Structure 1
Amino acid sequence: MPVTLIYCLLFAAPLANPAVDYYDPRVGGGSLLDKSSGLGEPLNVIISGKSSPEVLTQKGFLQFAQAIGFQQECLGLHQGAAQTANLGDGRGDVPELAVIRQDFNLPGLGTCIESLVGGNHFRIFPQTGPNANSGALFLAVSREADLAHHHTIAKNGYNLGRDGLVASALHPHRIHGRTYSTTVTEIQGLLTAGANGINHGIAQDGVVKLLTVTVK
């Protein structure tokens, strides 16, 4: 076969990029802290871009969240301004996609209880911009105090929130005819441990948990 024909066959169309877990936001000028009141909350859980494709859609991820004990906010209501994050994907600061709250195994009512008594919650930021389109979902997870304490983050709430979500996700869950299986990898070095730049001055340990979710 002539060399010129071989060249044309190889380069006539670009090869599809293989799936990646995520792109480091810092490479593209982003951060592992979102933006809130001049400070930030750690993006301490990442849903891998190697997860089943449906989990990386808004509808599919919300269904996974329901399976592990979380729902959208009480009556769809949200107080306070949306937080933003720059994931280094070429879009700059982008508002959170949603805030998801623990439902205490009471669908339709549990998130209202969480709003009153406190509990686990997280914000979702997808990495889907043109410069780093991994499809990964970056989550800012924390445990918050009750309404009487104005929903401030609980003591050690960033670590506790992250670990609580991961614990909920790790054993198989079934909902709406789908079974979700999750594996976890611990990542060091994306976040700096401590309270520097962290909202509410609450220290965190610098660990990010990477979750790969498979649907069957």
Structure 2
Amino acid sequence: MLSFFLSFFLPAVFASPISCRSADVDFYNPLLSGGSMLDKSAGLGEPLNVIISAKSTSTVLDINSPLGAINYFRAIGFSIECFGQHLGTPQSANLGDGRGDVNETAVIRQDFNIPILGTCIESLTGGNHFRVFPQTGPAANSGALFLAVSKEEDLSESHNIIPDGYDIGRFVINHSLPPPLENTVTWVQKYVTEVTNLTGLLQVGSEGINHCGSVGIAIDGVVKMLTVTATLDLPFFE
């Protein structure tokens, strides 16, 4: 009885309200409504190479909920920036949802499984990070999260993207998620993630891709779609 009660009570306590979204689609293709699968950065763009499907558990799509997206990111080895501080220029993306170019909602960094200080280490030494763009505009309110994932140099190199850093960054996310993967983390949440490869959304090659120096950074054109199911994990009440 207690387990049944908590399964309804805890999400109501911790989760922030989420607007109505369509559960019939994984996401709306930005290319079909004037959007782009590249964000905007220094006149070029970083590929939106990972999508968290709108068919995921709704709390996983909520960037503001304690049981939401940030908790899931921590489960796969990432967290918010060092002490919540971001010093770089925000990047924007047009997801074709009727809002035009909208700045990133968050920048998430690899935490090396070190609470609090792990993302500070990443900021100094380099590593994986990603920018989060929710598709929540009035014209295409799927609720999906589009991620621009990459691997960057250390602070002394101004966090420039390493050679092949977009595909490598996406691979690190995928390497942590052999389908399906279960992660049990704090806040009594268990996550099961299914990974699907999508093609045709990103162009193969380096055209339009943000890079430092004269040599472009080519991408293979693959987008990883993550469908995440979150459940309460309360073994002591079973």
Per the alignment, residue 100 of structure 2 pairs with: 92
Structure 1: where are the runs of 5+ without partners? Answer: 1-15
TM-score (norm 2): 0.82
Cα distance change on mapping 1:42 and 1:189 into 2, 3 Å: same
Match of 1:5 in 2: none
Work out which of the residue numbers 81, 89, 97 in structure 2 matches 1:81.
Answer: 89
Q: State the AA in 1 paired with 2:174.
A: V
Shift of 1:166: 1.9
- Does 2:56 correspond to 1:51? yes
Task: Render the CA deviation track for 1:65-84: whole Å, top value 9, x for unaligned.
Answer: 01111010011111221000
Cα RMSD, aligned residues only? 1.1
CA distance in 2, matches of 1:158, 1:54: 27
TM-score normalised per structure 1: 0.91
- Residue 161 (structure 1) aligned with residue 169 (structure 2): yes
The yes-or-no answer on 1:198 pairing with 2:213 is no
SS of 1:135's equivalent in the other structure is coil
Which amino acid in 2 is paired with 1:172?
E
One-letter identity of the residue aligned with 1:186: N
The 4+ residue runs of structure 1 with deviation greater than 2 A are 16-19
Cα distance in 2, alignment partners of residues 57 and 95 from structure 1: 17
Aligned length: 201
With 101-110 and 163-172 compared, the bigger mean Cα shift is at 163-172
Say which is worse superposed, 75-84 or 105-114, in terms of deviation.
75-84
Write the distance in 2 (CA, Å) between the matches of 1:80 and 1:69: 22
What is the rounded CA distance, in whole Å, between the counterparts of 1:99 and 1:17 in structure 2? 26
Measured after TM superposition, the shift of residue 17 of structure 1 is 4.8
Q: What is the match of residue 230 of structure 2?
A: 215
Unaligned segments of structure 2, at least 5 residues = 1-20, 232-238
- Of 191, 215, 226, which residue of structure 2 is paired with 1:180? 191
Question: Is residue 126 from structure 1 mapped to residue 134 from structure 2 by the alignment?
Answer: yes
Closer/same/farther in 2, CA of residues 98 and 18 from structure 1, 3 Å limit: closer
Alignment match, 1:148: 156
Which entry has the higher C-alpha Rg, 1 or 2? 1
**CA-CA distance at 1:199 after TM superposition:** 0.1
Q: 1:198 to 1:65 in 2, by over 3 A?
A: same
Question: Residues 59-109 of structure 1, C-alpha deviation per residue, up to 9 Å, x if partnerless?
Answer: 200010011110100111112210000000000000000000000000100
Contact 2:23 2:54 in 1 (8 A): no
Q: 2:200 aligns with which of 164, 189, 213?
A: 189
Percent identity of the aligned residues? 61
